[in-house]
Amino acid sequence: MKPRPGFRLTAESRALGIEAKGVLRAHKWWLLRRTTQVCVILIFALSPVGGYWIARGDFASSRILGLVSFSDPYIFLQTLAAGAAPVGAALTGALLVGLLYLVVGGRAYCSWVCPVNVVTDAAHWLREKLGVTRDRKLDRRTRLWILLATFLAAFGSSAVAWEFVNPVSLLQRGLIFGMGLGWAVILAVFLLDFAITRRGWCGHLCPVGAFYGLIGKVSLTRVSAARREDCTNCGACFNVCPEPHVITPALKGEGTRLVLSGDCVNCGGCIDVCPVDVFEMASRARLLNERRDAAQLSGS
């Protein structure tokens, strides 16, 4: 991509999209998910609003409008590994949240809810603007091994071990209940992503993302490269995408147009930046249609 003269606030990868569709439409999904991220935190942090509790608790476990209980399935599973009994609101809450992400896409948690995503996106933005190129290579699968390690540690120590350090829990809880020195940990995550490894935390290390990625392998909402014939090979989608490897099979492959990798965070960045609107949000159910169409083609 050609660097443009002068400083612009928007990411370089969005330039073509902005040119073709205007600033607003080239940030549609970005605006939606940033709004969601801020609102989710605010609903917790500002409650009680005028004496009324919209949401109690935090992301680990909460009670919404005094009616529904939500619990983080990953933290809940850690308590089970630590030997706690599966009881009460946490069990049903974890099932409910698991179900929710089965519908909206596993790692939609990462890009639509998790506040660390704002930190790492900011680090990536700054990295791009300052032209930092240092990129210490890590294996993307490292996060899966860390995920396994968190369960082993919970089992071995009989405590919810990862939650003694988890930056994701630390930030969301900190924003809701008070942060203290926890900012130091968040700064470390920022610096990792800014100066050491491109998309280091969310893309390589975070076991929370790895867990939701496993849900994403079977979740319903998926991005589709529906009009991939129109692709101009501008590379904007690969540049904006936090997990670029997920795009290739859908955009350049012969098979399904759906982005099926659990690593996809459903952020809609590719939809925003594509100047010719190749991508759209879709449902996994299209797999069935694609199969039927393929069968008809080969049958006729």
Partner 1 sequence: MAVRPSPSRRDVLADGVKAGGVACVAALALAAHVEEAQQAKAASAIRPPGALKEPEFLAACVRCGLCVNACPYDTLRLAEWAEDAPLGTPYFIAREIPCHMCPDVPCAKACPTGALDRNIAGIRQADMGVAVLVGHETCLNYKGMTCSICHRVCPIRNEAITLEAQVIRGRKMLIPVVHSDRCTGCGMCEKHCVIGHAAIRVLPRALGLGGGGRNPAGRAS
Backbone angles phi, psi at 71, to 5 degrees: -140, 150
* Kind of pairing between the strands at 68-71 and 61-64: antiparallel
Q: Does 13 participate in binding partner 1 (rule CB under 8 A)?
A: no
Query: And the tokens for 52?
Result: 């009324």
Q: How far apart are the first and last CA of the chain?
A: 43
Q: Does 77 participate in binding partner 1 (rule CB under 8 A)?
A: no
The whole-angstrom separation of Cα 95 and Cα 101 is: 10
The whole-angstrom separation of Cα 39 and Cα 43 is: 6
Coil, strand or helix at 223:
strand
Q: Is 180 left (phi over 0), alpha (psi -120 to 50) or beta?
A: left
**Contact string (CB under 8 A) for partner 1, positions 85-124, x = contact:** x-xxxx--x-------------------------------
Q: What is the DSSP letter of 194?
A: I
Closest to partner 1 by CB, 22 or 86? 86
**Least distance (Å) from partner 1 to the CB of residue 64?**
12
| Choice from 23, 45, 65, 83 touching partner 1 (CB under 8 A) | 83
| Choice from 43, 84, 118, 132 touching partner 1 (CB under 8 A) | 84
Q: Does 143 participate in binding partner 1 (rule CB under 8 A)?
A: no
Q: Does 69 participate in binding partner 1 (rule CB under 8 A)?
A: yes
Closest to partner 1 by CB, 91 or 132? 91
Rounded-to-10 torsion of CA 128, 281, 64, 186 = -10
The whole-angstrom separation of Cα 210 and Cα 148 is: 10
| Choice from 54, 100, 159, 287 touching partner 1 (CB under 8 A) | 159
Place of tokens 């660097």: 3
Q: Does 141 participate in binding partner 1 (rule CB under 8 A)?
A: yes
Q: Of 8-16, 163-171, 278-286, 288-296, which segment contacts partner 1 by CB under 8 A? A: 163-171
Number of residues located near partner 1, criterion CB under 8 A: 61
Which residues contribute to the site for partner 1 (CB under 8 A)?
47, 53, 56-63, 69, 71-72, 75-76, 79, 82-85, 87-90, 93, 139, 141-142, 145-146, 148-150, 152-154, 156-165, 169-170, 173-174, 176-182, 184-185, 248, 252
